[in-house]
Structure 1
Amino acid sequence: MVGRRILAGGAILVLLIIGLMAVLPGVFATQDPLQTDVAQALLPPSAEHLFGTDQSGRDVYSRVVHGASRSVGIGLLATGLALVVGLVLGSLSGIAPRVLDLAAMRATDVLLAFPEFLIALVVVAILGPGPVNVAVAVTLAAIPVYVRLARAQTRTLRTAEHVEAARILGVPATPAFVRHVVPGVLGALSVLATIGIGSSILAAAGLSFLGLGPTEPTPEWGLMLAGGRNVLGQAWWIAVFPGIAITVTVVAATILGRMARARADRGAS
C-alpha cells in the first residue's frame, strides 16, 4: 500500500511539473527555443545548455520545455474530444433500437480491430499533415473505445434500481436518463481517459516523428526526436531528452490511469 502511494505521488508530481511547463514555459526555460546560433551547434549538455544544443545551435532544454504545451496539449485535447463524442454516441447506442445498436457496435468492433495509431495514420493521410489534422486524427482513433464503454455502461445503468425508482416517481425518461445514467457513464469514461491521455500523447508524437504534424522550427517532442535521429551517434542528446520527456509523461499518466481503474473496479465490486 505504501509503495502504491509513493508511486502515485511520483506520477502526480511528474504530471504536475509537465503541466506547469506546458502552461508556464518561460518560468522553467528563459532561452528562446527558436533562436539559432550556428557557432553553438551540437554542443553537449553543460551548465549553460542543460540538454545541449541541436544542429542549428538552439537550446534543447528550452525546446523540450516549450514543446510540452504542444505535445501534452494535443493529447489532452484529443482525449477530451474523444470522451465527449464517445459519451454521446455510446449512450445513444445503448438506448437505441436493437438494429441501430447492432450496426453501431459492429462498426465500432471493426475500428477496434485496428491499432489506434494505424487509424490515426490513415486519417492524417486523408486529411493531410498539420498539427490540427494530427489532433483530429488522434481524436477519431480514440473514439471507438469510449463508444464501446459508454454503450456498456448505459445498458447497465438504465436498468439500475435508482433509475427505475426515478421513473416510478414520475420523472420523465429523458431527465431521468440525463440525471441518473449519464453521470455514471461519464465517471467510467473519465477513468479510461486517464490512460487515454498517455496513448494520445504517444500517438501525436509518433505522427510528428513521421513528419505529419508540426513543422520546423516548432518545438514539439516527436518532431525533435525526428530531428535528432540522423545525428544520434554524434549528438545523442538531441533525441534522447525529448524521448525521455515523452516516456516519463506517458508512463506517469498510465500509472495513474491504471490505479484509478483498479480503484473503480474495487468500488464496483
Structure 2
Amino acid sequence: MLIVITGAAGLVGTLVRPLLRRPGRVLRLIDIAPIEDLGEGEEFVQASITDLGAMTAAFDRADLVIHLGGHSSERPWEQILETNIQGGYVVLEAAYRAGVRRVLLGSSLHAVGYVAARDAASAPVLHPRPDTYYGVGKVALEALGSVYADRFGLTVVSARICTVGETIGGGGRTLSTWVSPGDLVRLMEAVAVLDQPGHHLVWAVSDNTRGWFSLDAGKAIGFHPLDDAENHLGPETDGRDDPSALLAGVFVDDAHPLGGTW
C-alpha cells in the first residue's frame, strides 16, 4: 500500500508517521521543508502543494492521499487563498488525474468556530461558521472535497481536526477537544480501506469523557477512537471547561485579529 502525506513535516505529520509505518507499506512524504529523519518504507518529495504537476506525479499509484499541507493557523487572506484554498484544489485535482480513489482532507474545528460548545453535538454535521480566514480556507477545502467526490466518484473524508497532541497540556477545553496521535492514525487507517464513494464529514477527536462532538459520522466509516483525555490528567491540569464558550477558543479574542499572523 502506498500512502502519500502532504505537509508531512508539520505537527500532525510528524506525530502520525511512526504509527503509520507497516511492513510492505510505503509512506511518500511531501513538504516544502526538508525531512531528513526518514524511516524504513518512507520516501520524501520536496514540493509545494500548489504545484499541480509535482502533485500529480507524487500521487502516482497512491492508494490514499492524506492532505495535511498548508498554513496551520491564521494568515493574511492572500496567503490563505494561495496556499490553503488553491493548494486544496491542486491536491484534489492531482488525485483525480493520478487515479487516486481515496483522499483524507485535514479540515479543522475552526470551520465552525463560531458554534457554541454546547451546540456542537446537536447534529452529526454542523453548518460552516468559520472564525478566521484560516477557517474559511477549511470550509472551502470541505466544499472542494464534496465537488470531487460527487463529480468523479472519489471517496473523500473531510476530518475536522481538533486539539492535536501527545498530551493534553494544561487541560481546560482540551479535555473536550483533544485528539491523540493514536486516534488520528485510527481514522487514517479507516479511510485507507473505506469503500464508500462520496464526501464524508467527520470529527477527528478522541472519545473524551467531556467531549462536545458527535462521533456517529466517524463510526459510520469505521473510525472508532479509543483514547480519552480524562486518562491523561496530571497534577497541574485545569479540569474546568466552558460549554457556553465558542469552539474557536482564543482564535477570536483581541490578541488574534482577523488576518493576523500567529
TM range (shorter): under 0.3
TM-score (norm 2): 0.24
Q: Which has the larger radius of gyration?
A: 1
Choose between structure 1 and 2: higher helix proportion.
1
Whose RCO is larger (CA < 8 A, sep 6+)? 1
> What is the TM-score when the length of structure 1 is the normalising length?
0.24
